[in-house]
Amino acid sequence: MDDPINLRKQFCMTEKSSDKTSRGVTVRVKTARGRTTSSSRWLQRQLNDPYVARAKKDGYRSRAAYKLIELDDKFGFLKAGKHVVDLGAAPGGWSQVAVARCGKDNVAGIDLLEIPPVPGAALLQMDFMDDAAPAALKALMGHADIVLSDMAPNASGQPNLDHLRILILVEAAFEFALEVLKPGGVFVAKVWQGGTENKLLERMKKHFVTVKHAKPKSSRQDSAETFVVAVGFRR
């Protein structure tokens, strides 16, 4: 399987072609030496994705920013002065949105990958599954009003395994949210379609006033991802 990071680098080298998508021109990518058919398809999809071009125009790190924007427009949880923790923050699109809507110095993010600085956000390059990570985030933020998780495992090509892996990440993010959220707080996490595992969903409903699933329009329709939005934290 092609390395996603290498694919992103290839995309960055050719991203100027994405300007053509705004003019309705389809960019076609040929399989070149050293590039597999699957990586060529990935590049072609990126180059012809209107949200990729829009993110570049609007100054966002990735198209994922629009997923958070749509979720917030629907549920209204990002508000001025709210403190936000962004799990799986790289490359920084969600942190950018959180800073814009909640204010500077109110956002802390973490990712295993390096995250270029986001003005107004405190960022850690660290594996959230590391035992020391929760304490490191608490040192940055203390208690939070909102915990966001866009974490996802590398795709294995086996849907059942991928679902299990992302469920493990969601459970870890949820346990962290229980520790740091203020009363009335919000938890948002990426999950796979089919919903959240029943026991975890029941725990969420116990600790939040409302728990709903939503799939933003900016989430690719052929993607299995959806998001769980839990509002109104109570212990």
Write the burial class of residue 183 (CB in 10 Å: 0-12 exposed, 13-18 middle, 19+ buried).
exposed
pLDDT reported for residue 11 = 35
Write the burial class of residue 20 (CB in 10 Å: 0-12 exposed, 13-18 middle, 19+ buried).
middle
pLDDT reported for residue 49 = 72
pLDDT reported for residue 36 = 58
Q: Which of 56, 190, 205, 215 is catalytic?
A: 190
pLDDT reported for residue 10 = 37
Residue with tokens 């839990």: 230
pLDDT reported for residue 21 = 38
At a CB cut-off of 8 Å and minimum separation 6, what does 121 contact?
86, 92, 95, 96, 98, 99, 107, 108, 109
pLDDT reported for residue 63 = 92
**For residues 38-77, b (16+ Cβ closer than 10 Å) or e, as one string?**
ebbebbbebbbbebbbbbbeeebbbbbbbbbbbbbeebeb
Tell me the three state secondary structure of residue 205.
helix
Domain 65-233 has CATH 3.40.50.150: yes
CA angle 93, 95, 98 (to 5 degrees): 115
pLDDT reported for residue 62 = 92
pLDDT reported for residue 8 = 41
190 is catalytic: yes
pLDDT reported for residue 159 = 75
pLDDT reported for residue 194 = 61
Every domain of the chain and the residues it spans: 4-58, 65-233
Write the burial class of residue 145 (CB in 10 Å: 0-12 exposed, 13-18 middle, 19+ buried).
buried
Is residue 28 within 8 A of residue 44, CB to CB? The reply is: yes
The helix (run of H) or strand (run of E) holding residue 79 is none
Instruction: Mark the ranges of the chain whose per-residue pLDDT is less than 50.
Output: 1-27, 29-31, 42
pLDDT reported for residue 114 = 95
Can you tell me the distance from the alpha carbon of 29 to that of 37, in angstroms, rounded to the nearest whole number?
Answer: 10
